[in-house]
Structure 1
Amino acid sequence: MFEIRIICNPAEAPEITKALAETFTTGAVRQHPTRDGDRVRLYVNAEQQPSHWPTPETAYATAPSIISEIGWTARGARDCLNGIQVREFWLRKAALLDRIALTDDDPVSGDAATLAVEAARRLMEIDHAAGLGPNGYADGPYTPDHPDSIREPRGYVRQEYALWNRHH
């Protein structure tokens, strides 16, 4: 648990409080005026929200080997360039890069992790443009523009890969 302190204009306080509650598990917000009286200080106890994403072990339980997926991705790049299977290509590429990043010495901020996040964001752009959400192909709880998806793009990939894998 940690405490967040924010100094803002009084009119901004409700919007900031809402954003904090969407991002963290928060307690009651304590509000006090600043010394000059023009702004307010917000104090809130917060903690990270538990992840609701599938674990990598669950998402990739029946996935082909990494070597096999590298081959598929190399072959699939041609189809993707020609507008065929664009979503599947980016989904499988993002999942492949996520799996590679998980084996890296620095699975959160290393080079492989950076590439995994970039590929995940590309998938999210494709899904957002296609309007995928709870009533589209992606029947998971998180749409590509959900705050949790934006905060954890690799979690979004795991959700989508697990759903895709279940349907294929």
Structure 2
Amino acid sequence: MFEIRVITDPADADRVTAALAAAFDTGPARQYPTRDGKRTRLYVTADHRPEPGAWPTPEEAYALAPSIIREIGWTAQTAADKPFGQDLGREFWLRKAALLDRIALRDEEDGVTGDAVEAATEAARRLIAYDRDGEGDYHGAPYWPEHPATTADPRGYVRQEYAAFT
């Protein structure tokens, strides 16, 4: 455990506290004015986050998922219902990525070679970018969109987020 001290503009105190909480396991921030009264001193007790566990298995992530056929219908209908250029929303990108991951898993299991794995990986990267840009309301536990493990295994991130979604 360690103590972090930050001197910041009072308007940035909440943002700094949130950033520290995202990086470390923190306690409540204590705030005091600086001697000149123009800035704020933040004191935060922190500890390193424990090492995250493994990604959910496909069986765990997709245990409550609708059939692949039903998800194909949902994603096609959702895409068709939105006017061109309008944001499709996080649920669309998550369900599309999970659908493509499930198709790729079947292909891998059956020994089929094709572009399903590549399509699933690209859809996963699109969801990660959506979440990273702040547009998504991601679960992020144990891996958040910027985590190196997410970059290394984008489809694992999809399974984590889908398991939290369902």
Alignment TM-score, normalising by the size of structure 1:
0.60
Alignment TM-score, normalising by the size of structure 2:
0.61
Aligned residues: 114
Q: Do structure 1's residue 130 and structure 2's residue 131 form an aligned pair?
A: no
Question: In the alignment, which of 117, 120, 124 is matched to residue 113 of structure 1?
Answer: 117
Structure 1 stretches of 5 or more lacking a match? 1-49
Structure 2 stretches of 5 or more lacking a match? 1-51
Structure 2 distance, partners of 1:59, 1:100, is 14
Q: Do structure 1's residue 91 and structure 2's residue 101 form an aligned pair?
A: no
Structure 2 distance, partners of 1:108, 1:123, is 25
Q: Secondary structure at the match of 1:54?
A: coil
Instruction: Label 1:82 to 1:156 Cα distance change in 2 as closer, same or farther (>3 A).
Output: same
In the other structure, the counterpart of 1:142 is 143
Instruction: Label 1:80 to 1:88 Cα distance change in 2 as closer, same or farther (>3 A).
Output: farther
Amino acid at match of 1:74: A
Amino acid at match of 1:65: S
Structure 1 distance, partners of 2:83, 2:145, is 20
Instruction: Label 1:110 to 1:80 Cα distance change in 2 as closer, same or farther (>3 A).
Output: farther
Cα displacement (A) at 1:141:
1.0
Q: Secondary structure at the match of 1:141?
A: coil
Report Cα offsets for 1:11-68 as digits up to 9, x if no partner.
xxxxxxxxxxxxxxxxxxxxxxxxxxxxxxxxxxxxxxx9710000000001000000
Moved more, 62-71 or 137-146: 137-146
Amino acid at match of 2:127: L
Structure 2 distance, partners of 1:146, 1:109, is 30
